[in-house]
Structure 1
Amino acid sequence: MPIRTEIVSQDRIVYQGDADMVVLPGIDGVMGILPNHSPVLTALQYGIITVRLKGEEYYFTVAGGFVEVQPDQVTVLADAAENVAEIDVARAEAAKTRAEEMLKEGIPSDQDRYLMIQAALRRSTLRIDAVRRYQQGRRSRG
């Protein structure tokens, strides 16, 4: 019996469907969620969500957010999320280069700007690493 799974970013539904297992980067460590799991509400850290269904694995980057687990459903509300199969590596590398160049100019006096640059660097690095690590297992389900 699968568990209903939804991964939602701020601008779209990234994945909606069943899963035999969902592996999440929880704030306290990696969590494996199976059907009939106890209810949980926790924050997510930057990392990879793996959705396993009928022997296949689908990979999604997640840049923070929250997950609510119920016995029959997993709902991820992500700050940012993306199917690894849809990542544009050239765009991610360009974003990483831009962020690194901004930091080379020195730390901005505006704390918010500095945090935005750091977040952009972290997201682009995650996206690039995800493609390199999971390119053999990339799936375009979503």
Structure 2
Amino acid sequence: MTLNICLCVLTPNRIVWDSEVNEIILSTNSGQIGVLSNHAPIATAVDIGVLRIRLNDQWVTMALMGGFARIGNNEITILVNDAEKGSDIDPQEAQQTLKIAEDNLNKAEGKRQTIEANLAFRRARTRVEAINTIS
């Protein structure tokens, strides 16, 4: 018997995911964590990274752009700045955006420009990873 977890992924503008899942792998600021049913309650910061969601025997990916997560009582609520399902990302556009972000990072001058370029690069890389990982 498989116990399910209720997963809700929210951005300021919309609900990206709201259904039961079997397992997730979440990128946090201190590393990745796997969550199964009856996980210990925690609240954590969510890093820019790929969320992996297991539904039965299939994995679905989602690019998350940083935020917070609350886990407890077989419910996971993830509130992020932005989220995009891997299946909704255009591979050519994502690769082009990654290339532009990489070029901008290499050309960045000064601390502020470097920080902003690095953030844009991490976001672009996450979108590409969401396409290329287990789907």
Is the shorter-chain TM-score for this pair beyond 0.5, marking a shared fold?
yes
Q: Pick which of 95-104 and 59-68 moved more.
A: 95-104
Aligned to 1:6: 8
How many Å separate the matches in 2 of 1:43 and 1:37? 17
Unmatched tracts of structure 1, length 5 or more: 138-142
1:32 counterpart (34, 56, 62) = 34
Question: Equivalences for 1:95-134 in 2 at 5 Å?
Answer: 95-108=97-110, 111=112, 113-134=113-134
Query: Is the deviation greater in 44-53 or in 17-26?
Result: 44-53
> In the aligned structure 1, how far is the partner of 2:107 from the partner of 2:85?
32
Q: Which residue number corresponds to residue 77 of structure 2? A: 75
8 Å contact kept, 1:9–1:81: yes
Match of 2:86 in 1: 84
TM-score, length-scaled by structure 2 = 0.84
Q: Which residue is 1:94 aligned to? A: 96
Contact 2:61–2:133 under 8 Å retained in 1: no
Decide whether the 8 Å contact of 2:64 with 2:80 is kept in 1.
yes
Q: Is the 8 A contact 2:9 2:16 kept in 1?
A: yes
- Deviation string 1:41-75 (CA, Å, 9 cap, x unpaired) is 00122222122122222111222211100112101
Sequence identity percentage: 26
Q: Deviations over 1:69-89 (max 9, x none)?
A: 011210111122211111112
Secondary structure of the corresponding residue to residue 5 of structure 1:
strand
Distance in 2 of aligned mates of 1:87 and 1:49: 14
Distance in structure 1 (CA, Å) of the matches to 2:54 and 2:90:
23
| RMSD (Å) for aligned C-alpha atoms | 2.0
Encode CA deviations 1:106-139: one digit per residue, 9 max, x unaligned: 4157x2x4433221111111211331233xx2xx
User: Counterpart of 2:44?
Assistant: 42
| Segments of 4+ moved more than 4 angstroms | none
After TM superposition, give the deviation of residue 18 of structure 1 in Å. Answer: 0.3
Q: Distance in 1 between matches of 2:89 and 2:81?
A: 16
**Higher strand proportion:** 2
The secondary structure found in structure 1 opposite 2:25 is strand
The number of equivalent residue pairs is 133
